[in-house]
Amino acid sequence: MFSLLRWHTMSRPATLLMTTCLTSLVVIALATTAFAVTAAENERSSRDGTVEVLWESGYAQYDTLLIASARGETVAQYPVIEGQNWVITGMEDGRYQFILESQSSSKFLFTLGVTHYSLSAAFSLFVAGLVMFLYLLFTLIKGERSD
Amino acid sequence: MTDFMLARDTALWILVAFGVVWVAWGWYLGRNNRTIEDYALAGRNVGFAMATATAMATWITSNTTLVAPQLTYQFGVWGMLGYSMAALGLILFAPLAQRIRTLLPDGFTSGDFIYRRYGRFAWALFIVISLCYAFGWLVSLGMAGGLLLSSLSDLSYLTGMTAILVICVGYTLLGGLKAVIATDFVQSIVIITGVVIVAWVCIDTVGFETMHTTLTEQQPALLDLLFPAAIMFFFNNVFFGIGEIFHSNVWWSRAFAFAPGIGKRSYLAAGLLWLPIPIVTGFIALAATSLNLIPPSADMVGPMVAAKLLGSIGAVFIFVIVFSALASSMDSLLAATSDLLTQDIVKKLLRPDATSDTLLKVNRYIVIGLGVGTWCIAAFKLATLGALLNFTGAFVASTIWPIVYGLYQPKLTGKWAGIAMFAGTVSGLVGYFTIGFYVAAIISCGVSLACCRIGIWQSKDMFHWHKLEEKG
C-alpha cells in the first residue's frame, strides 16, 4: 500500500502534518464519545436550538408534550403520536422543561438548556467563508481569462 | 396511521407502476448500446436541452426535497437561503466543464484527470474521497426512499428503500447514461411542476400571517437573521455544494458526455434554474408548527407538511415527486460511480488490457454490486439525511482547490494536492465532531486551500498541460 502511494517520497514535514491530523481526529472522536456517555440524563443542552425527544413505550398514556419556560409559562405543546419521536427546533437561549401530560397525570422528562454559539464566532466563520468564496471566484475568472 | 397516509395497496401499486415504466424505458433506450462509450458517456454527443435537464434534475434530489425542508426546519430563513446557494456549484462548474472537455478530449472520469495531472498518491486519496462521498450519497438516497414510504404510507422503511434501489439499478443497468439522461428529463418536469403546486397550496391554506405568528411564539430562532448556527451553516453549504460538484464523477462524466461547446452553457442554465427550487421546497417546512405537525425525524418534515396540506390525493402526488427526485439522482450516481470503479480501479489497476466488451460487462456487474452494497448500509439507518450528507462535506470540500488549481495553476504538485485533500478532510471531520455538521465543509476547504498555497509557494515544477492528453 505504501509503495502504491509512494509514501517514501513524502518529505518529513508533510508526513508529520498528516500524522498529526490523523492523531488529533482519533483523540477528538474518543473524547466526544466519552463526553456523550457521561452526560446527565435529565439535564440536556443544545447549541443550535434543536432537540430530539426519543419515544419510549410508557409515553403512550399521555396526550401532550408540553414545553415550559423556567418561569413555568407554556412555550409550545405538541400531540403525542404513539411510536413517534419529536424533533423540536428554533428555540432561543434559555432553560426549558419538557413534560408529558394527560388529563389525569404528568411526567417530567428533562430540562433543556439552550445556549447558542456566540455571534462573533459565527460571523468570524461567515467572513472567512465569504473571503474564501471571493478568492475562488477571482481564481476562476483569472484562470478563464488566461485560458 | 395518520389521516394523510397512503393505503398500503396504493403505495405498492405506485411502486410497481414506477418500476415497470422506468425499467422498460431504460431497456428501450439502451438497446443499441454497443461500446463502453455508448453505455457510459452516451456517445459523447448530448445536446443543450437534455444536458441542462439532466444537470438540473440530478441536482434536485433527496437533498432538495427532503434535506432543504429539514435545514429550514432547523435553521429557518438562513437554512433555506443557504441551501439554495448550492446552485453555485453548478454555476461555477460551467467554465470548468469547458476546460475539462478541452484538456481531456478522450477522458472518462474525474479520476482520469487527477491521475494524469497529479500522479498516484493524490489519485489514491481522491478515489477514497470520491468513493466515501458516492457511498454516502447513495446510502442517503436509499434512506430517503425508505423515509418517504414510511412517512407517507404504512409500508416499512425497508420496503421503500429496497424498491427505489431495485428500480434505479434496473434501468441504469439496462440503459446506461442514455437512460439516465432521458429519465432525468421527464423527472425534472414532474418535480418542478409538483413543488410549485405544493408551495402554492401551502401559502393559500396556511398563509404568511399565521406562519409568522406561530413561528414567533414557538420557534422564534427560525425567523432570527442573527441565528449563530445558521450563519455558520451558510458558507459551509456553499462549499459543500461546490465540493460535491467539482470532484464528483457524476458531473465530470456529463462534461465528457455533452457535445463540444455545450457544457458551459448547460451547467450555467441548470444552476440558474435550480436556484429557486430549495427555497420553494424548504419554505413549506416553516408551516409545520402552524399545522400542529411535529416530525419524528427532521428530514421527514417536508413530506409530512405536503401530505397534510394536500390530503390523501396529495400524498400520491408527493410520493411521485419525491420518488422522481430520488430516482433522478440515484441513477446518475450509480452510473457515474460504476464508471469511476470500472475506469479507475479495474482498468488502471487490475486489467489494463481489458477490451471494451469486458469493461462493459464489468460496469454492469458494478452497478448491481453498488445497489447491493447500498442496501446493506442503508438498512442500518445510522443518521439523519442532513447529518449524513454533511459528514461527507468534510471529504468533498477538501478537493475544491486541488481541482481548481489542477486545471488552472501549473505549479501545484501531486504531493501537495494529496496533502491538501488529506489535511482538509481530517480537519473537516474534527470540526464535524467537535462543533457540528454545519462547519465540516468550510473548515476542510480552508485547510485544503492553505496546504495548496504552501505547495504552490514551495514548488519549482511546472506542469505541461499537453500531458493530460496522454493516455494514463
**CA-to-CA dists, residue B330 to B59, B169, B249, B371, angstroms:** 11, 9, 13, 10
Instruction: Note which residues in 194-253 of chain B have CB less than 8 A from chain A.
Output: 215, 217-222, 224, 226-229, 231-232, 234-236, 238-239, 242
Chain A residues with CB under 8 Å of B215 CB are 90
User: pLDDT tens, B297-348?
Assistant: 887 888 888 888 887 677 777 777 777 777 777 887 888 888 888 888 888 8
Per the structure, the count of domains in chain B is: 1
Contact B199, B280 (CB under 8 A): yes
What is this model's ipTM? 0.83
Quote the cell numbers at residue B397.
470540500
Q: Give the closest residue to B387 by CA, choosing from B286, B275, B240.
A: B240
How confident is residue A128, by pLDDT bands cut at 50, 70 and 90? very high
Among A118, A136, A145, pick the best mutation site for testing chain B contact (most B Cβ within 10 A).
Answer: A136
Quote the cell numbers at residue B298.
427532521
**Within a domain: B446:** no
The secondary structure of B135-148 as a DSSP string is: HHHHHHHHHHHHHH
User: pLDDT tens, B394-451?
Assistant: 999 999 999 999 999 999 999 999 999 999 999 999 998 888 877 899 999 999 999 9
pLDDT value of residue B388: 67
Q: Which residue has the cell 481530517?
A: B426
User: pLDDT tens, B60-91?
Assistant: 776 677 788 989 999 999 889 989 998 999 99
CA-to-CA distance for B14 and B18, rounded, in angstroms? 6
Counted residue by residue, chain B has a size of 472
Radius of gyration of chain A (CA): 24
Cβ–Cβ below 8 Å for A132 and B409: no
Question: What is the CATH number that goes with domain A43-114?
Answer: 2.60.40.10
**CA-to-CA dists, residue B342 to B100, B351, B357, angstroms:** 20, 10, 12
Quote the cell numbers at residue B142.
436509499
At residue B456, does pLDDT exceed 80?
Answer: yes
Q: Is B419 on the interface with A (CB under 8 A)?
A: yes
**Within a domain: B350:** no
Which of B9-18, B28-37, B156-165, B263-272 has the highest mean predicted lDDT (pLDDT)?
B263-272
CA-to-CA distance for B219 and B210, rounded, in angstroms? 13
- Per DSSP (E only), the strands in B250-362 are none
Q: What percent of chain B has pLDDT over 90?
A: 33
Q: Is A4 on the interface with B (CB under 8 A)?
A: yes
Q: Give the closest residue to B47 by CA, choosing from B174, B178, B219.
A: B178
Which residues does A14 contact at the CB level (< 8 Å), separation at least 6? B415, B416, B419
Give the amino acid at B293.
L
How confident is residue A64, by pLDDT bands cut at 50, 70 and 90? very high
Q: Give the closest residue to B325 by CA, choosing from B193, B187, B189, B194.
A: B187
Of the two residues B312 and A118, the one the predictor is more confident about is A118
pLDDT value of residue A16: 58
Write down the domain spans for chain A. Answer: 1-38, 43-114, 118-147
Tell me whether strands A106-114 and A43-46 are parallel, antiparallel or unpaired: parallel
At residue B30, does pLDDT exceed 80?
Answer: no
Domain that holds residue B242: 8-340+358-379
At residue B4, does pLDDT exceed 70?
Answer: no
CATH number of the domain that residue B112 is part of: 1.20.1730.10
How confident is residue B1, by pLDDT bands cut at 50, 70 and 90? very low
Of the two residues B152 and B397, the one the predictor is more confident about is B397
**Mean pLDDT along residues A5-31:** 53
Chain B residues with CB under 8 Å of A77 CB are none
